[in-house]
Amino acid sequence: MMEDFIIPINSAIKSFYSHLLANPRTILSSKFGDGKSYFLENFKNTDFVKEQFVFLTIYPVNYQVASNEDIFNLIKRDILFQLMLNNMISNAVVIPKDIALWFYLQNNKRSLVAELVHYMADIAVPSEQMAKIMLAIKGLRLFKDMKKKIEKFMKETNEDDLLIRFLDNVNRNTIFEEDIVTAIIKRVVNDFKHRTNKTVVLIIEDLDRMDPAHLFRILNIFSAHMDYVYKNLTKPNDTLVGNKFNLDNVVLVGDYSNVRKIFKHFYGEHTDFNGYIGKFLSSKPFTYSLREERLKYIYEKLALVTESPIELVKIVISEDKLENKTIRDIIHSFEIDKQIYKEAKVTAEGKTVVLCPVMLKLLAVMRRLQIPDEDMITIPAKVYSQSQNLYFEYIAPYMLLTENGKTSMEVTIYYRDEDGVPYGQRCRINEKSGKGERSSMFRCGGNDERTNFSAIVKRMLEFIVN
């Protein structure tokens, strides 16, 4: 049975899938220990997700960033490595000559390959991925073509002449706003989307574990992309769902509440976090918790095992009673077939009625969870205060067991309203279902006592094996 207890996350996967389709920039918020890694791994490997999306996942928290270096330089190169590892670069991608020349002039004749290899250690590329990246660099036409162009620049003329030619022919709108790596990423992403019709998603992991300066640099870069298009009079309709590098989605992963705390600590308690983060987010963050999914699944299973409405299960076996229980404890509690040693029957009005066993099953589960009897005794009052309908249907019939010599299939619950006025509520037991059904209510004299709720559970427990 243990092997069958796999907490389903299908609902969360579908919700996040829809969330990504609607939100080009978002935060996947999940607290430590809430199963974020498990969720993302399953999400990315779900068939209908793989048909729509391709994921580039980076971990800036692992970068070895020099104090004077911009973390975004490493992020760009890491994204390029991810494009290689995902086999997304086709031979159709070519870097224009003017961009190659701009790189050549900026980098003091250094080759692009040497530049990329230099960054591998800083990005902490796993050793098993390095060989694959080097093979991609060696085999792709993109890098061979770039090498040829640079070699040609070096041979054909001196650097001063190249600079004059560059300044004479440069397209200012396409050169100065992107370096060689940005140019490659944008062209690869565009080419890949055109070839496959897939959605490209960048996932930036462990947002709340980064150095605060790096965290907010990343947020600023992706938020500034939106500011930039407006300042340069780009049509809003063309850019509202756009992202840097022509990515379809950017997902930052971390605990949203921690990001808020870090922001307040870094920028000051009175700074406007909502206004700041609102520049990045398309809507509110997507919150995921395996604990919540686990709890939901347990309640659904308990409702099935006890044949009880899930609302009643949640009242009787509250979250705090399950919090410290292991999965083994929970599964053990499902095995209640032999926990109830006899049916609860009452005889009145010349008839014998078997009372609905739902409450006995719930108490049997609690016994197997080793919940003390003192806690169980409080259940009727708790149910009555939260849902009188559930009380009358599932608990009130057992009041017949507390009343010796009862000749009627009807019980009366005595209580006082908020003003202290005493009332009585009659409840009749259905002969077929063994459940209670409300009948008449009446105002009663001040001498009437309130119903002894604890006595009901004491009688119920007589039917449960210790």
Burial pattern 240-251, b for ≥16 Cβ within 10 A else e, equals eebbbbebbbbb
Whether 453 has a pLDDT exceeding 70, the answer reads: yes
Strand partners, 57: 203
How large a percentage of the chain has pLDDT more than 90?
41
**Nearby residues of 449 by Cβ (< 8 Å), 6 or more positions away:** 414
Alpha carbon distance 186, 88 (integer Å): 12
**Measured distance CA(288)–CA(292) in Å, rounded:** 8
pLDDT attached to residue 414: 85
pLDDT at 242: 59
In whole angstroms, what is the distance from residue 207 CA to residue 27 CA? 9
The CA distance from 365 to 335, in Å, is 8
407, pLDDT greater than 90 = no
How large a percentage of the chain has pLDDT more than 70?
Answer: 84
What whole-number distance in Å separates Cα of residue 144 and Cα of residue 175? 21
pLDDT for 138 equals 77
Q: Rounded CA gap, 355 and 76, in Å? A: 68
Mean pLDDT of 333-344: 89
pLDDT of 105 reads 57
Least confident residue range of 27-31, 108-112, 181-185, 399-403: 108-112
**Cα gap 392→410, rounded to integer Å:** 11
The torsion angles phi and psi of 399, rounded to 5 degrees, stand at -65, -25
Residue pLDDT, tens place only, 31-90 = 887 788 889 999 999 999 999 999 999 999 888 876 656 788 889 889 999 999 999 988
Angle between helices 212-231 and 256-267 (to 10 degrees): 90
Exposed e or buried b for every residue in 119-135, given b needs 16+ CB within 10 A?
bbebbebeeeeeeebee
Query: For residue 228, what are its two tokens?
Result: 């930039």
- Convert the pLDDT of each residue in 301-316 to its tens digit: 999 999 999 999 999 9
Q: Is the pTM of this model over 0.85?
A: no
Q: Reply yes or no on whether the pLDDT at 435 is more than 90.
A: yes
> In the predicted model, is pLDDT for residue 417 greater than 90?
no
Contact 36, 44 (CB under 8 A): no
Closest-CA residue to 146 (of 196, 183, 186, 200): 183
Q: Report residue 291 as tokens.
A: 């604990």
Amino acid identity for residue 313 in this structure = V
Sorting pLDDT into bands at 50, 70 and 90, what band is 5?
low
Spell 279-288 as b/e; 16+ CB within 10 A means b: ebbbeebbbb
Q: How do residues 116-163 score in pLDDT, each as one tens digit?
A: 777 777 787 887 888 888 888 777 777 777 777 767 765 665 555 545
Instruction: Specify the pLDDT at position 88.
Output: 93
Instruction: State residue 2's pLDDT score.
Output: 42
Residue 460 has pLDDT above 90, yes or no: yes
d(CA 166, CA 296): 63
* One-character DSSP codes across 119-160: HHHHHT--HHHHHHHHHHHHH-HHHHHHHHHHHHHHHHS-HH
First to last CA, the chain: 23
Across the chain, mean pLDDT equals 83
Instruction: Give yes or no for residue 334 having a pLDDT over 60.
Output: yes
Look at residue 170 and tell me whether its pLDDT is greater than 70.
Answer: no
Max avg pLDDT among 173-187, 207-221, 244-258: 244-258
More confident residue, 450 or 447: 450
Local confidence band at 110 (pLDDT 50, 70, 90 cut-offs): low
| Residue among 451, 458, 396 at smallest CA distance from 427 | 396
Q: What is the number of alpha carbons within 13 Å of residue 307 lying toward its C-beta?
A: 10
Is 50 exceeded by the pLDDT of residue 237? no
The confidence score (pLDDT) of residue 398 equals 94
Q: Is the pLDDT of residue 397 over 60?
A: yes
**Structure confidence at residue 229 (pLDDT):** 47
Give pLDDT tens digits for 343-367: 999 998 889 999 999 999 999 999 9
- Assess whether pLDDT exceeds 50 at residue 451: yes
How far is Cα of residue 150 from the mean position of the Cα atoms in its chain?
A: 47
Q: What is the pLDDT of residue 244?
A: 84
Within 10 Å of residue 25's Cβ, how many Cβ atoms?
23
How large is the average pLDDT for residues 273-283?
Answer: 88
Would the pLDDT of 236 be above 50?
no
Pairing between β-strand 345-348 and β-strand 351-354 as defined by DSSP bridges: antiparallel
- 421: phi then psi, degrees, rounded to nearest 5: -80, 130
Residue 256 near residue 29 (C-beta atoms within 8 A): yes
pLDDT number for residue 448: 58
Burial 169-206 (b: 16+ CB within 10 A, else e): eeeeeebeebbbbbbbbbbbbebbbeeeeebbbbbbbb
Instruction: Check residue 452 and give its pLDDT.
Output: 84
